[in-house]
């Protein structure tokens, strides 16, 4: 955990120092281009790699009763047997995180009246669901809001989103709820790993690193907007230069902006090689994208070699005369077979 | 590759969405320049209350603070970083020089999609008045 924090802090410090000594071109132009290229190539490579991997077994997750006899009610939303049902389940999974909604938590209650002593209890736990929804949707809105730096004139949809986002009119520049909630959600996801002992035991650096990286990105973004401001007219000129492949000088922009940009670049570089690939991976999950029709349709392992069959009819053809001589029962008698 | 059709459609959707920053401005300006402002022609003062660099980045915070000072704390005096004293008033101090709303304020605000809510209380200056 602290190693991940240290790595993110070092990346930020390097970007800060680098842009302060005049390496703004390296952190503001070269690194973002390399990162974007690596992001696209890496993600498409991972998708093709997954698409090439055979699925040996039908392993759909069943969250309810599979289709069976007519008088047994099928759980159509959780155990679909049709393509439409699978698409529906996938859509709800991607948009509403339905499987996280089913999350349960096991705990030992020290004293329970039923047992008159300690007892293990299981209960529904929605916190992960709530905060991951919050995180993902706030991140989406923040990403969309950033398009004001990528286009001129700015699309009215973005103006509308900003109006809604800053509807409370707190301060100037207006406080955007998505930014604040995004940070809260990330801090919850981090606290969950840090303070839940069972989760902490199974958490690895590749769990903490993206969290700290995202906290760094959101933190620098919030700082740039509300505290350590920079001239955004100049930032827009710089960003428009980048997206039109005609980079301009980075002079006059706060070093913190380059920390923000560098952390985003690191996120893009890291993305294809990490668990963040669940963005594409969810669509490749056999547990999610296969219909629950294992009793109706035989799933053939794609890497099985073609089988050499030797049927009884062929066997009888080969040994008919000998079998007839021995008086064994035959499907076809020798004189009939000859006709 | 298994399910090649679906995977290729997925790859195209992914590439389309995430390359949006590079093509979304397809119909807009290719050669984006910093908006050119019309500075006050007959300035009543020699310089703005703070340096241009400070004002570019922080004028919105300053205005917000001025509002709080004037309306909530009844303090109408602002001491600038160089020691000069100013009356805290948008219309009588700022807009005495910066009177061209369309060619000064709006230039940056529109291109950067900033919609200040100053004018829910103050009267929005029309044109070059």
pLDDT band at residue A337 using 50, 70 and 90 as cut-offs: low
Q: How confident is the model at residue A211 (pLDDT cuts 50, 70, 90)?
A: very high
Chain B residue whose CA is closest to A147: B21
Mean pLDDT of A192-219: 93
Is B10 in contact with A243 (Cβ distance < 8 A)?
A: no
Kindly state whether A51 is in contact with chain B, defined as any CB-CB distance less than 8 angstroms. Answer: yes
Q: Which residues does chain B have within 8 Å of residue A229's beta carbon, measured at their own beta carbons? A: 57-58, 61
Determine the residue among B19, B51, B57, B62 to mutate to test chain A binding: the one whose Cβ has the most chain A Cβ atoms within 10 Å.
B57
Q: Which of A303, A228, A293 is nearest to A259 (CA)?
A: A228
The alpha carbon of residue B98 is apart from the nearest alpha carbon of chain A, in Å, by 18
Confidence at A147, pLDDT banded by 50, 70, 90? very high
Mean pLDDT, range A315-327, rounded to an integer: 90
What pLDDT is attached to residue A33?
95
Residue B19, CA atoms < 13 Å, CB-side half-sphere: 14
Asked whether the bond before A278 is cis by omega within 30 degrees of 0, the reply is no
CB contact under 8 A, A172 and B34: no
Residue A321 has pLDDT above 50, yes or no: yes
Q: How far apart are CA A66 and CA A61, in angstroms?
A: 10
Least confident of A157-161, A207-211, B22-26: B22-26
- Closest C-alpha to B19, from A271, A254, A87, A41: A41
List the domain boundaries for chain B.
4-120
Q: Where are the domains of chain A?
A: 2-307, 308-339
User: A193 is written with which tokens?
Assistant: 């790993």
Please judge whether A148 and B2 are an interchain contact, meaning their C-beta atoms are less than 8 angstroms apart. no
Residue B28 near chain A (CB below 8 Å): yes
Q: Tell me: pLDDT of A28 over 80.
A: yes
Of the pLDDT bands very low, low, confident and very high (cuts 50, 70, 90), residue A339 is low
Q: A136 pLDDT exceeds 50?
A: yes
ipTM: 0.89
Residue A297, chain B, CB below 8 Å: the answer is: no
Q: Which two tokens stand for residue A54?
A: 């055979």
Does the pLDDT value for residue A37 go beyond 90?
yes
Task: Provide, as residue numbers in chain B, all residues whose Cβ is less than 8 Å from the Cβ of A231.
Answer: 53, 56-57
Work out the angle at residue A165's Cα, subtended by the Cα atoms of residues A255 and A258, and round it to the nearest 5 degrees.
10
Q: Is A2-307 CATH 3.40.50.920?
A: no
CB-CB: which of A159, A171, A233 is closest to B108? A233
Please check whether residue A86 is in contact with residue A290, taking contact to mean a CB–CB distance below 8 angstroms: yes
């Amino acid at each position: 955990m602290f190693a991940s924090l240290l790595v993110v802090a070092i990346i930020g410090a390097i970007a800060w120092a680098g842009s302060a000594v005049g390496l703004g071109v390296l952190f503001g132009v070269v690194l973002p281009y390399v990162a974007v290229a690596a992001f696209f190539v890496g993600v498409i490579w991972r998708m093709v790699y997954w698409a090439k991997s055979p699925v040996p077994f039908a392993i759909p997750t069943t969250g309810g009763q599979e289709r069976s006899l007519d008088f047994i009610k099928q759980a159509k939303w959780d155990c679909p047997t049709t393509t439409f049902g699978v698409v529906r389940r996938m859509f709800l999974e991607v948009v509403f995180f339905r499987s996280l909604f089913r999350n349960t938590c096991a705990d030992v209650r020290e004293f329970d009246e039923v047992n008159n002593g300690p007892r293990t209890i299981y209960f529904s736990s929605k916190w992960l669901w709530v905060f991951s929804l919050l995180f993902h949707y706030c991140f989406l809105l923040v990403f969309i809001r950033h398009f004001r730096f990528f286009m001129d004139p700015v699309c009215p949809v973005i103006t509308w989103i900003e109006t809604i986002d800053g509807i409370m009119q707190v301060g100037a520049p207006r406080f955007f709820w998505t930014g604040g909630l995004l940070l809260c959600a990330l801090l919850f996801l981090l606290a969950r790993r840090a303070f839940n002992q069972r989760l902490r035991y199974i958490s690895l650096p590749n769990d903490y690193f993206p969290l700290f990286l995202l906290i760094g990105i959101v933190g620098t973004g919030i700082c740039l907007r509300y505290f350590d401001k920079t001239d955004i007219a100049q930032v827009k000129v710089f960003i428009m230069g980048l997206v039109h492949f005609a980079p301009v000088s980075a002079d006059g922009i706060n070093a913190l902006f380059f920390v923000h940009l560098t952390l985003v670049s690191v996120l893009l570089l890291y993305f294809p090689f990490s668990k963040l690939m669940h963005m594409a991976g969810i669509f490749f999950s056999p547990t999610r994208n296969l219909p629950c029709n294992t009793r109706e349709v035989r799933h053939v392992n794609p890497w099985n070699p073609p089988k050499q069959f030797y049927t009884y009819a062929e066997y009888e053809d080969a040994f008919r005369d000998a079998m007839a001589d021995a008086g064994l029962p035959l499907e076809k008698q020798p004189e009939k077979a000859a006709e | 590759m298994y399910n090649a059709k679906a995977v290729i459609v997925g790859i195209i959707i992914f590439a389309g969405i995430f390359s949006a920053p590079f093509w979304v401005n397809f119909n807009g300006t290719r050669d984006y320049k910093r908006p050119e402002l019309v500075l006050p022609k007959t300035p009543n003062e020699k310089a703005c209350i703070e340096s241009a660099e400070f004002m570019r980045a922080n004028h919105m915070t300053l205005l917000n603070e001025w509002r709080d000072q004037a309306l909530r704390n009844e303090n109408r005096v602002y001491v600038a970083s160089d020691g000069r004293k100013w009356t805290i008033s948008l219309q009588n101090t700022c807009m005495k020089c910066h009177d061209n709303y369309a060619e000064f304020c709006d230039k940056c605000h529109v291109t950067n999609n900033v919609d200040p809510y100053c004018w829910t209380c103050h009267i929005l200056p029309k044109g070059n008045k």
